[in-house]
Structure 1
Amino acid sequence: MLVLYHGEPNGPSLSVLAMLAECGLEGQIETRPINLLAGERHTIPGIAEPLARDIGVEGEGPLLVVDGEACQESVFLAQYLDEVAGAGLQPKDAYTHWQMMMWCRRITERCAPAAAFLGNQAYAAPVLAAMDDAAFDAIIAPIASADLHQRWADTRSGAFPDAARTDSRAKIADAAALVETQLADGREWLIGPLTIADFETYGWLVGMVDLMPDTFAEKSLTRAWMARMAARPSVQSALARAGVTHPERVWAPGPEINRWG
């Protein structure tokens, strides 16, 4: 049995849930919502190797459990879903497929850590800071990865250096500019046809609009693309799973800020 554990439809959980619907796999793969900021990802039963679950660079992202194996990372999960369904959301042409994967790598390595930094500073840190020590310790006790354990502690303590905040805002602005430039030739989707890159990029950027409104206000092509993404039935299906009014404001400790800039 395949079970997809996911957080609120934001960030990587949004991209994977939308891909699930886009691939026509709703009802074929069981889905179970979990509260990522309550540490529920680390108490999922039947995981054969907890460390493998926790060392993913994505941090608190969705998990697809297959025969006790915790499969993770939203781009890889999207590929898995596409290949199971034969949905055609990965280009067949080798060069275009390379373009899609390089685009996704840029989003996951530069945009995603920046979005997680800003989202956690704005929304997650106050929630964790309000907890008493015993409650917080109970949440992080099952985390097998020392790096991820530290990211939780840093989030709670408010370890958000000004330099990292400035850098994160710059990287979000760079991602929005990248989208704007890519769409300048009149294409509807980022790689040409609709691909995994659209879902991955939208998942990480949509929560940044409220935090950096001026960045998106001047990007008319990016806003139009985001509107097209929001209107897709698959994205609407993902958002319908939300348990809160504003899922784009729900964050949990995410990717580590890149050490190499």
Structure 2
Amino acid sequence: MTGILYHGQPNGPSFTVLAAAFEKGVDLDLHPIDLRAGERHSTALPHPLEVDQSIEGEGPVLVVGDVAMTDSVFLACYLDEAGDGPPIRPIDPYARWQMMAWCRYVIERVAPAAAALGNAAAPPHAVPVGIASADLAERWQDAVEGRASDTQLADSRAKIVQAVEKIEAQLADGRDWLIGDFSIADLESFAWLAGMRPLVPEAFASAPLTDAWEMRLRARASVRQARDLATVPNPEAIWAPGPEINRWG
């Protein structure tokens, strides 16, 4: 497989896709872009509907031939099929369902909370030109102007606490990884939670199983390769508008 991956710093959705590609041994042409500056909306990138209306917000874009794809979990699934390395999705149907259900939890609950907190801590400077999605343009404007309410931020912090509690409970039976063998669930969870330690320290204050899980993740060659692509000292502090905060609690 040959393709071009336009990616940001190894944090959030860009981390998931970069680490998945390295884990699977997929040889991609890596093109770093500044997601926080809105470079994904440049005319240099393909803009099919799937990219312009991505619910993930500012994530990486994978271009294979004349097809452009986005959304980190689904890109990781694509790379799992395209690559030659060991699978990063369970073979067992029930375990695969568990993994996808876990990833959906991260996408819908954890990712919006992490992006909200990350952007509140370090707001982007300006709304980029060329955003096709009205919803995403609104999230950009909210981030630039610091419009996140105290209620939204408190709810986001609570969701990060709940996510770590969920990981602790999942690992309590002595397993090393969240769903059977190492999988996309581990990458996606780490992607959104790694930058939350300084922002929500109470979530990690008493989470020894999560700490050990993260150490195992950081020791993997694919994770080190992804993190080595950082061009700033602390890539986990670099955020751009992400998924929309769930309006229904």
TM-score (norm 2): 0.96
In 2, Cα distance between the equivalents of 1:212 and 1:166? 10
SS at match of 2:172: helix
Aligned counterparts of 1:40 and 1:112: Cα–Cα separation in 2:
21
Distance across 1 between alignment mates of 2:96 and 2:6: 28
Q: Report the CA distance between 1:214 and its aligned residue.
A: 2.1
- In structure 2, stretches of 5+ residues that fail to align are none
User: 1:230/1:43 Cα in 2 relative to 1: closer, same or farther (>3 Å)?
Assistant: same
Q: State the distance in 2 between where 1:4 and 1:260 align.
A: 34
- The CA deviation at 1:44 is 4.9
What corresponds to 1:117 in structure 2? 116
1:2 is aligned with what amino acid?
G
What is the alpha-carbon distance in structure 2 between the residues aligned to residue 252 and residue 102 of structure 1? 25
Which AA in structure 2 matches 1:210?
P
AA at the equivalent of 1:74: S
Q: Which residue of 2 aligns with 1:32?
A: 31
- Does residue 195 in structure 1 map to residue 183 in structure 2? yes
CA spacing shift, 1:46–1:215, aligned 2, 3 Å: closer
Which of 70, 73, 76 is matched with 2:71 structurally? 73
Deviation at 1:29, TM superposition (A): 1.3
Which residue of structure 2 aligns with residue 83 of structure 1? 81
**Matching of residue 216 in structure 1 with residue 204 in structure 2:** yes
- C-alpha distance in 1, partners of 2:232/2:204? 24
- 2:38 pairs with 1:45: no
Superimposed CA distance per residue, residues 176-218 of structure 1 (whole angstroms, 9 cap, x where no aligned partner): 0000000000000000211110000000100101111221120
Quick one: which of 175, 194, 202 aligns to 1:206? 194
Give the secondary structure class of the aligned counterpart of 1:169: helix
Q: How far did 1:7 drift?
A: 0.3
C-alpha contact (below 8 Å) 2:119/2:240 kept by paired residues: yes
What percentage of residue pairs aligned between the two structures are identical?
A: 52
Query: Where in structure 1 are there 5+ consecutive unaligned residues?
Result: 129-135
- Which deviates more from structure 2 when the two are superposed, residues 99-108 or residues 65-74? 65-74
Q: What is the identity, as a one-letter code, of the residue corresponding to 2:212?
A: A
Secondary structure of the corresponding residue to residue 177 of structure 1? helix
Change in 2 beyond 3 A, CA 1:88/1:66: same
Change (3 A) 1:48 1:37: closer
- Matches of 2:52 and 2:153 in 1, distance apart? 25
Aligned residue identity for 2:58: E
SS at match of 1:186: coil
Q: C-alpha offsets along residues 105-149 of structure 1, whole Å, 9 cap, x if unaligned?
A: 0010000000000001001x1x41xxxxxxx36x2x211111111
Aligned pairs, number: 247
Identify the range of structure 1 (2-11 vs 86-95) with the bigger mean alpha-carbon deviation: 86-95
Matches within 5 A, 1:2-151: 2-25=3-26, 28-45=27-44, 47-49=46-48, 51-86=49-84, 87-123=86-122, 125=123, 127-128=124-125, 136=126, 139=128, 141-151=129-139
Hey, which bits of structure 1, 4+ residues long, moved more than 6 A? none
Q: Structure 2 vs 1, CA of residues 150 and 235 (structure 1 numbering), >3 Å: closer, same or farther?
A: same
Q: Deviations over 1:30-54 (max 9, x none)?
A: 11000011111011525152x4312
